Amino acid sequence: MFPTFRNMLPNKTTLRVLTLTGVLCLVALPISANQDLGYVLNSFSFLIWGVLVMWMCAGFTMLESGTVRTKNASVICLKNLGLFSIACITYYIIGYDLMYTDVTQFIGRPFTTGFGHGPSAVEVAMLTDSTNNSTELLSKQSYSTMSDWFFQMVFVATTASIVSGALAERVRLWSFFAFIFILVSFIYPVVGAMTWGKGFLTQLGFVDFAGSTIVHSTGGWAALAGVLIVGPRIGKFRKNGTVHPTPPSNVPLVTLGVLILWLGWMGFNGGSVLAMDSPANATIMSDVIANTVMAGAAGVLTVMALSKVILGRMSLLAVLNGAIAGLVAITAAPDFHNMIWLAIFIGAVGGFLCLVTMRLFDTIKIDDVVSAIPAHLVAGIWGTMAACFTNANAKIWVQLVGILVVGAFTFVVSWIAWYLIDLVLGLRISAETEELGQDVTELGMETYPEFVQVIDHEMYAEELEEKA
């Protein structure tokens, strides 16, 4: 005979025990949560948002490898993988300490606590000493040390990725990596020390919530110095003043890359709240993400509406850069409330300025393959100044000083670094390598081997005529 449903139910004594246990758990939970939950949530926030920012490296790789011609796509993939790895190692050994440890007015002090940057002493004690509890740890810090290091490190890699796309298709692989080492081990940490590291720009009152200037403009200034020294690709600008078109090799890949960057930006800006341990911080994080999304959308629609007027055609690549420009522009100060129309305005202006600069670069013959400088540098400058609209603490003259100081330092040091690398290693690939592509000549492979590569002889005709 099968048991009835009534017989399957627990008896009254069991129910009383289960109810009492549940009540005791609910009473005990806040006691434990008050001690540890804030530390756990803050550390988890750094880690999960940092993973999203790291995912932006995939976005940059897709954006750049899809924008360049087929013959250079594999080198772009290697560059992005290499620059991220260089950023990891150098920021662990020296970069983080230069940016945050014992910062004076301009720079921190490395190796004060040993080689590289590691967990704090109380964290080690908590994990290695069974008699030690978390009380001392929680009284001294509100998040784990290495979760903060990881979150800060992925920002460095983002800065380096900006340089990769701008100088694509004409810079030697190891020369590029040499510059990236200088950028992530010295240039970016000094900029960070002056600002987020509480150096003199922070003391002046400079506002840059998530890095319109500190991350994006720094990458843009470094790229601009390199582009000016290396010069344009052979045949990109004809002698009669026209621009030789270099259509992207994979438009869907470029589009997917931008969408991945847009997703990663949620971690970029949302994680920059730097805490998730209270209802107030969770609310601020929500507002930041909403403002970020709206600014990117405004950049897209603005460029869609104006690209035919300014460029003479509807340009998908310009629209995609409009999204990036809108996101860059809002990054300086997205932590405001009840004024989402301001996010739309800031993103729209960022997209417009990016579009105008793209047209200007063609006119003055600056060859930026992925339009990284218009999207990151120009929109970053605008966003840093636009912080005055959304943050009551941002003063126009202080924001301007911050832009000029970061710009002058980054551009001058980058120029010197590019120039010295050119003298020692050489920056420019040969004309033959540029015509055949870096994939075959430097890596001995083709990105899409099932397709027959057709060399654009017209693009190199003037160069070959001069040699003849």
Q: How far is CA 138 from CA 28, 35, 102, 274, in A?
A: 19, 7, 22, 16
What amino acid occupies position 158?
T
* Cβ contact 413:219 at 8 Å: no
Residue 140 lies in a domain: yes
Contacts of range 451-456, beta carbons closer than 8 Å, 24 or more positions apart = 451/70, 453/70, 453/71, 456/235
Name the pLDDT band for 12 (thresholds 50, 70, 90).
Answer: low
Question: What is the structure's pLDDT at 106?
Answer: 87
Give the C-alpha distances (Å, rounded to integers) separating 164 from 201, 207, 219, 308, 448: 28, 27, 9, 28, 21
Does a structural domain hold residue 80?
Answer: yes
Position 302 pLDDT exceeds 60 = yes
**pLDDT tens per residue, range 365-377:** 999 999 999 999 9
Range(s) of the domain holding residue 356: 38-467
pLDDT score recorded for residue 301: 98
Task: Return the percentage of the chain with pLDDT > 90, whole number.
Answer: 72
Mean pLDDT of 14-39: 52
Answer whether residue 354 is part of any domain.
yes
More confident residue, 419 or 23: 419
Look at the block and give the residue holding tokens 């670094």: 417
What mean pLDDT is predicted for residues 207-224?
A: 97
Going from the C-alpha of 121 to that of each of 100, 118, 124, 389, the distances in angstroms are: 17, 9, 5, 42
Is position 384 within any domain? Answer: yes
pLDDT for residue 455: 67
Report, as an integer, the average pLDDT of 173-200.
Answer: 96
Task: Please give the model's pTM, rounded to 2 decimal places.
Answer: 0.88
Q: How far apart are CA 170 and CA 388, in angstroms?
A: 39
107-116, 406-415, 436-445: which has the highest mean pLDDT?
406-415
Whether residue 409 is contained in a domain is answered as yes
Between 13 and 143, the higher pLDDT residue: 143
Work out the average pLDDT over 119-125: 80
Q: In this predicted structure, what is the pLDDT of residue 111?
A: 72
- Dihedral sign of CA atoms 374, 375, 379, 380 in order: negative
- Convert the pLDDT of each residue in 45-89 to its tens digit: 999 999 999 999 999 999 999 999 999 999 999 999 999 999 999
Which pLDDT score, from 0 to 100, does residue 416 have?
Answer: 98
CATH number of the domain to which 81 belongs: 1.10.3430.10
pLDDT bracket for residue 9 (50, 70, 90) = very low
**Which range has highest mean pLDDT (29-33, 119-123, 261-265, 275-279)?**
261-265
For the chain, the average pLDDT equals 88
Question: What pLDDT was estimated at residue 109?
Answer: 81
In this prediction, residue 247 carries a pLDDT of: 87
Q: Indicate if the pLDDT at residue 2 is higher than 60.
A: no
pLDDT reading at 201 higher than 50: yes
Does the residue 360 lie in any domain? yes
From the list 86, 194, 210, the residue with the least C-alpha distance to 152 is 210
What's the pLDDT at 338? 86
Cα–Cα distance between 379 and 356 in angstroms, integer? 11
Confidence of residue 173 (pLDDT cuts 50, 70, 90): very high
| Of 138 and 17, more confident | 138
Q: What is the pLDDT of residue 120?
A: 80
- Could you tell me the pLDDT band of residue 294, with boundaries at 50, 70 and 90? very high
> Is 28 among the domain residues?
no
Is pLDDT of 433 > 70? yes
Total domains, the chain = 1
Q: pLDDT tier at 14 (50, 70, 90 boundaries)?
A: low
Q: Read off the tokens for 188.
A: 């970016």
Which pLDDT band, with edges at 50, 70 and 90, does 275 fall under? very high
Residue 137 has pLDDT above 80, yes or no: no
3-class DSSP state of 171: strand
- Give a yes or no: residue 187 inside a domain: yes
Average pLDDT over residues 246-263: 95
Calculate mean pLDDT across residues 332-358. 96
